[in-house]
Structure formats: structure tokens, C-alpha cells
Structure 1
Amino acid sequence: MKKEFSTLNDLIKELSPYINQSALARITEVNMGQMRQYSSGVRNPSHETLNKIINNLNHFGLELSNIRKKS
């Protein structure tokens, strides 16, 4: 199921029960200070940064979906 978000802040709030801002910054390759600003709504990412965040989150999701139990 695909989910859509109108703002990065909304996405961060949705993910917050599962992943903290520090881990999200590492996964998305975004500076922690920037991630805090995006999370608090102080700043919005550029179009380029938003695409980088989305691509890295999708890549991380694919990595998670490939996890298998060893037989």
C-alpha cells in the first residue's frame, strides 16, 4: 500500500514511532540539523533534497523487504 504525504514534516511524524530523527537523517543522508528543522517545520527541503530523501527511504524499504531468515 502506498502512502502519500503533503509535507516532509507529516512523513517524519508518521515514522516517529518506528525510527528516530537521527536514524532517519543517516538513512536519507541528510544533515541532522536540517532534519530537525524539517521535523519542526522551521524549514522545508528543496525539491532536490526532497527527492534524495524519498529515493533513500525507498531504497531502505527495499533493503528491509529483502531480509530473510537463514534456513
Structure 2
Amino acid sequence: MMNIVFSYLLTQAPVAAESSASYSIALTTVLIVGFVAAAIIGSIAWYNSKRPVGWEDKERPDFVPDVDK
């Protein structure tokens, strides 16, 4: 009986290793694509952001450079 179990486990080991590798590649791809998407969306939001509530009419500090639009 143990011989049958060991032979089954030995035949299934390569399948488990292949599925683990494909899972790892898929997870890495999802993380990279998600990071790039978050960076792009965050950059767009940052460039289009306005001043916080209550600061709309305040003067810019001297150390902040003027940017031409």
C-alpha cells in the first residue's frame, strides 16, 4: 500500500512543480502590471490635483518654484 502512495506522489511531483511555477509567474505579472497602473494613475492624479481645502487663495511659499502651465 505504501508503495502505491509513494509511486503516486512521485508521478505527481512534476505536475505540482509546474503549477507552482506558473502560479508564481502569474502572480509576478499581476503585481508588476498593478504597480505600473498605480504609478501611472497616481501620477495623473498628482499632476491634476488642486490645493487642499482652505489653501486655494494662499500665496505659494518662496522655496516653491513657479511652474508655467
Q: TM-score normalized by structure 1?
A: 0.34
Compare CA radii of gyration and give the structure with the larger one.
Answer: 2
